[in-house]
């Protein structure tokens, strides 16, 4: 590069030793905010363009191969600008003290107590990002911090005390994956090992303050550290869901690869149903084997406990009976039926996942998995226009309820910053009675979506048309599976997550009274058997809400027992409806006239099922209503019990009317009513359970009480 003479003279005038010109220590260690200037000496300032650093000797000019001064060093950047030969002369800047701690901030911390941290507050668990400990956000200090000043890392507030038991959420998360390094390398000084399962990232859905605000009583109840150890152990507790999912895939592949499927499609129909029954029974065995274990999986996303075990078995039983009911009926409205059984299996899977979900967006995914197959199943009878209409109406219901639920979940997550039910419960408990309006709106939207799912009034208008238009086996599945999936969702969210100072007895009591009254009055005027059972289902949802209103362990146990009793009686009734609908081709109540002469066993089965739904003694329905009303009365809800008893008396009228038509009215014709073997098996199982639960309810009551107790721990 050609350098002008004036610049060369400028460079020659400034030759000399510049050792230590840049790396100087000063007391305050200010960083220069401007380029090096000419004609002026900046007192008490470091020379050069970079920050001051520790002193280091540099070799003198003669040993540095003579770099011209007009060229900046490679680490300083350009100083001389284009067409400018002089350096700028700038004024001194004011001293820029850093705001760190100095001598004035030093205070006495007191003596060190034995077994505790010796700094300004008690030790608490903290989040660690990238193995660099620090606060999650400004202002999140330990609960014992009193001095609002400069807090340096030497305070050691983030080291867990050696004598403290680790938080239950940490213990559950530690079992998610095996440690990547030895425990000794990852433990603090005297503390418990910190989790490294997410590569040092914070636990999803949990804030740092949860670790020291959450009660240690939960850890004492858990009883020690979870030692699942690896992913295989974690997925073992999801074995029932995995078996059901694999069963669906096997049915799909078997239907595609079945020999002669194109020429003889009927051969694959019962085989696919049998595969589904076998897979569900295998999942039931896995559920029984895993019963009694309680685990929180995937950092609070999935909860495996007594409640999830109960609903797993209930949904598996419903799926098995519906598959058996469908084998003889599906060929009447569909040529290709393997897809039908596949949808039943995957809908059962959605119900099971929903019962175990403990995180808002996992609940949303499970709802879609359980609802979308039902949309297709309701419209499966393509030749019947009522089936397509019912499917469209149910689709609109799913869209509306899903939007309402998702909006409520989003509001709660946005306001509280966590989506796990445990985290939501901790946040709401910390807020006490001061609930945020946004959270209150989110809870209202969740309750609205729940009411749609369980067919409670005033969100029941879709039920009669959907029940009437859907094929009879699908109606049976919809009447129990979808309803109790909604109740499983409600129990998990309200008891575990939503700890708010609301009058739940009044809220659920009002919904229960409206549902019982509207359902029974609507059923009085029906002439169609499926529509009558649809309105009866609305009333039954009201009885279930009576048990939920007290929000006690005994009340929830009574709700679970009622779920089993109602499932048995309702499936027994729908078994007869499926048979008569296939044989007679009609669902009108008048067409059941003289059924006791044409098919005595069918008439007896339907009579027992309807009387159980009405609540007559020695049957499952009577015992279920007795315990529901008993625990509601003990909770001080006598008015609600009175409404329930009156509605039970009203319901006996339309149930006994069907019995009178079957046994007293003369048959309009001598149409024979054949009963398929698979349908007879399903009807016999449901009828036997209805009678057994009414005569010997103790074993079922013990099981339901244990499931309810797991929810209130």
- Among candidate residues 57, 74, 96, the one where a domain is terminated: 96
pLDDT at residue 214, as a whole number: 44
Alpha-carbon distance 560 to 539, whole Å? 17
pLDDT at residue 575, as a whole number: 93
Does residue 205 surpass a pLDDT of 80?
no
pLDDT at residue 60, as a whole number: 45
Mean pLDDT of 229-254: 83
Alpha-carbon distance 567 to 597, whole Å? 28
For residue 481, tell me if it sits in a domain. Answer: no
End-to-end CA distance of the chain: 82
Mean pLDDT of 480-486: 91
Q: How confident is the model at residue 23 (pLDDT cuts 50, 70, 90)?
A: very low
Higher pLDDT: 260 or 707? It is 707
pLDDT one-digit tens code per residue, 24-55: 444 444 555 555 555 555 555 555 555 455 54
For residue 615, tell me if it sits in a domain. Answer: yes
Does residue 610 surpass a pLDDT of 90?
yes
pLDDT one-digit tens code per residue, 54-104: 544 444 444 444 444 455 555 555 555 555 544 444 445 555 555 555 555
- Among candidate residues 80, 96, 112, the one where a domain is terminated: 96
pLDDT at residue 63, as a whole number: 44
pLDDT one-digit tens code per residue, 103-159: 555 555 555 555 545 445 555 555 544 444 444 444 444 444 444 444 444 444 444
Does residue 221 surpass a pLDDT of 90?
no
pLDDT at residue 197, as a whole number: 42
Alpha-carbon distance 324 to 342, whole Å? 13
φ/ψ (deg, to 5) at 420: -80, 145
pLDDT at residue 288, as a whole number: 94
CA distances from 409 to 99, 120, 394, 404, 415 (A): 42, 39, 22, 9, 10
Q: How confident is the model at residue 219 (pLDDT cuts 50, 70, 90)?
A: very low
Mean pLDDT of 323-349: 87
Does residue 544 surpass a pLDDT of 90?
yes
302 membership: H or E segment, kind and range: strand 302-304
> In a 3-state reduction of DSSP, which class is residue 377?
helix
Does residue 218 surpass a pLDDT of 80?
no
pLDDT at residue 366, as a whole number: 92
Higher pLDDT: 224 or 534? It is 534
* Residue written as token pair 């999803």: 204
pLDDT at residue 58, as a whole number: 47
**Boundaries of domain holding 39:** 1-96
Alpha-carbon distance 122 to 161, whole Å? 8
Percentage of the residues of the chain whose pLDDT score is greater than 90:
34
pLDDT at residue 599, as a whole number: 87
> In a 3-state reduction of DSSP, which class is residue 129?
strand
What is the count of structural domains for the chain?
2
pLDDT one-digit tens code per residue, 636-658: 899 999 999 999 999 999 999 99
Longest dimension (CA), the chain: 128
For residue 536, tell me if it sits in a domain. Answer: yes
Least confident range from 23-37, 268-282, 418-432, 641-655: namely 23-37
Alpha helix segments (H runs only) across 194-293: 208-213, 217-222, 231-236, 239-257, 268-290
Q: How many CB atoms lie within 10 A of CB 232?
A: 9
Alpha-carbon distance 681 to 685, whole Å? 6
For residue 369, tell me if it sits in a domain. Answer: no
Q: How many CB atoms lie within 10 A of CB 206?
A: 23
Max mean pLDDT among 147-156, 324-333, 664-673, 679-688 falls in 679-688
For residue 516, tell me if it sits in a domain. Answer: yes
Give me 424's structure tokens: 């939501």
For residue 604, tell me if it sits in a domain. Answer: yes
Mean pLDDT of 605-614: 94
Q: At a CB cut-off of 8 Å and minimum separation 6, what does 341 contact?
A: 251, 272, 273, 275, 276, 323, 326
For residue 639, tell me if it sits in a domain. Answer: yes
For residue 682, tell me if it sits in a domain. Answer: yes
pLDDT at residue 163, as a whole number: 42
Mean pLDDT of 591-620: 91
What average pLDDT does the structure give for the chain?
A: 75
Q: How confident is the model at residue 535 (pLDDT cuts 50, 70, 90)?
A: very high
Strands 128-129 and 132-133, sheet pairing: antiparallel
- Among candidate residues 61, 96, 131, the one where a domain is terminated: 96
């Amino acid at each position: 590069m050609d350098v002008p003479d004036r610049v060369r003279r400028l460079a020659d005038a400034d030759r000399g030793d510049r050792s230590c010109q840049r790396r100087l220590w000063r007391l305050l260690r200010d960083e220069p905010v401007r380029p090096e200037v000419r004609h002026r000496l900046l007192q008490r300032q470091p020379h050069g363009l970079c920050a001051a650093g520790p002193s280091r000797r540099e070799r003198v000019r003669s040993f540095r191969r003579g770099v011209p001064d007009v060229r900046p060093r490679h680490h300083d950047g350009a100083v001389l600008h284009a067409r400018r030969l002089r350096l700028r002369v700038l004024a001194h800047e004011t001293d820029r003290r850093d705001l760190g701690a100095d001598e004035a901030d030093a205070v006495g911390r007191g003596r060190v107590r034995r077994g505790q941290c010796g700094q300004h507050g008690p030790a608490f668990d903290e989040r660690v990002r990238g193995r660099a400990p620090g606060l999650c956000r400004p202002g999140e200090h330990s609960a014992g911090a009193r001095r609002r000043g400069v807090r340096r890392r030497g305070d050691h507030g983030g080291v867990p005390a050696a004598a403290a038991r680790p938080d239950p959420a940490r213990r559950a998360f530690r079992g998610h994956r095996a440690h990547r390094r030895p425990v000794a390398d990852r433990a603090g000084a005297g503390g418990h090992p910190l989790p490294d399962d997410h590569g040092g990232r914070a636990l999803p859905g949990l804030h740092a303050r949860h670790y020291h605000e959450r009660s240690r009583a939960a850890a004492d109840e858990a009883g020690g550290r979870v030692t699942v150890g690896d992913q295989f152990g974690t997925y073992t507790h999801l074995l029932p869901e995995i078996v059901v999912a694999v069963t669906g895939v096997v049915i799909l592949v078997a239907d595609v690869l079945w020999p002669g499927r194109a020429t003889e499609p009927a051969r694959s129909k019962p085989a696919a149903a049998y595969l589904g029954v076998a897979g569900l029974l295998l999942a039931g065995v896995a559920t029984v084997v895993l019963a009694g274990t309680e685990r929180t999986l995937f950092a609070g996303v999935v909860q495996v406990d007594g409640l999830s075990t109960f609903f797993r078995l209930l949904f598996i039983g419903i799926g098995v009976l519906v598959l058996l009911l469908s084998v003889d009926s599906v060929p009447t409205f569909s040529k290709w039926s393997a897809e039908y059984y596949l949808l039943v299996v995957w809908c059962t899977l959605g119900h099971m996942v929903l019962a175990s979900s403990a995180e808002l967006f996992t609940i949303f995914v499970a709802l879609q998995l359980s609802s979308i197959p039902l949309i297709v199943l309701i419209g499966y009878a393509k030749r019947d226009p009522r089936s397509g209409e019912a499917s469209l109406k149910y689709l609109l219901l799913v869209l509306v309820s899903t939007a309402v639920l998702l909006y409520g979940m989003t509001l709660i997550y946005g306001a509280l910053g966590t989506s796990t039910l445990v985290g939501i419960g901790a946040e709401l408990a910390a807020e006490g009675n001061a609930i945020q309006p946004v959270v209150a709106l989110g809870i209202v939207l969740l309750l609205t979506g729940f009411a749609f799912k369980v067919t409670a009034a005033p969100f029941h208008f879709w039920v009669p048309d959907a029940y009437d238009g859907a094929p009879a086996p699908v109606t049976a599945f919809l009447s129990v599976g979808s309803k109790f999936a909604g109740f499983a969702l409600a129990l998990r969210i309200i008891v575990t997550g939503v700890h708010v100072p609301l009058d739940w007895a009044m809220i659920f009591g009002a919904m229960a009274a409206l549902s019982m009254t509207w359902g029974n009055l609507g059923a009085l005027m029906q002439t169609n058997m499926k529509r009558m059972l649809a309105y009866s289902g609305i009333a039954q949802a009201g009885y279930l809400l009576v048990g939920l209103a007290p929000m006690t362990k005994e009340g929830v146990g009574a709700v679970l027992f009622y779920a089993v009793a109602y499932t048995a009686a309702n499936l027994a009734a729908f078994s007869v409806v499926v048979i008569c609908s296939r044989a007679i081709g009609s669902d009108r109540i008048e067409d059941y006239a003289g059924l006791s002469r044409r098919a005595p066993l069918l008439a007896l089965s339907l009579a027992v099922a309807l009387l159980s739904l009405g609540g007559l003694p020695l049957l499952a329905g009577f015992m279920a209503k007795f315990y529901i009303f008993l625990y509601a009365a003990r909770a001080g809800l006598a008015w609600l019990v009175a409404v329930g008893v009156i509605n039970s008396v009203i319901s006996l009228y339309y149930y006994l009317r069907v019995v009178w038509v079957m046994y007293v009215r003369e048959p309009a014709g001598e149409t024979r009513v054949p009963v398929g073997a698979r349908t007879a098996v399903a009807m016999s199982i449901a009828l036997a359970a209805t009678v057994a639960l009414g005569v010997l309810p103790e074993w079922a009551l013990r099981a339901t009480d244990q499931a309810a107790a797991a929810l209130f721990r």
